[in-house]
Amino acid sequence: MQIQVNGEPMELNDGATVSDLIQRMALEGKRLAVEVNEDIVPRSEHPQFTFSEGDRVEVVHAIGGG
């Protein structure tokens, strides 16, 4: 299936989850927020939230500083 991640096309297997995407992007353990079609997906839902064809995904990294 084809989705858009941060404005770029990406091909994922049918049934792929947010956790699968995070792993594919090598972002496990990082502080980040995931938005699908302009809705935030809570971290607790990452393992079971599956994508649909054409979803628009934004992955935002939290950067600390002061």
User: So what's the pLDDT on residue 61?
Assistant: 85
Is residue 41 situated within a structural domain? yes
Residue among 13, 10, 6, 25 nearest 50 (CA): 13
The verdict on residue 42 lying in a domain is: yes
13 and 1 Cβ atoms separated by less than 8 Å: yes
**Number of domains composing the chain:** 1
Q: What is the pLDDT of residue 5?
A: 98
Q: Is residue 18 part of a domain?
A: yes
Range of the domain at 12: 2-61
CA distance 52 to 66: 38
Residue 50 belongs to a domain: yes
AA letter at 2: Q
Give the pLDDT band of residue 63 (cuts 50, 70, 90): confident
User: Comparing C-alpha atoms, which of 31, 21, 9 is closest to residue 51?
Assistant: 21
Query: pLDDT tens, 12-54?
Result: 999 999 999 999 999 999 999 999 999 999 999 999 999 999 9
In a domain, 25, yes or no: yes
Q: Of 42 and 62, which is predicted with more confidence?
A: 42
Mean pLDDT, range 52-59, rounded to an integer: 98
Q: What is the CATH number of the domain that holds 29?
A: 3.10.20.30
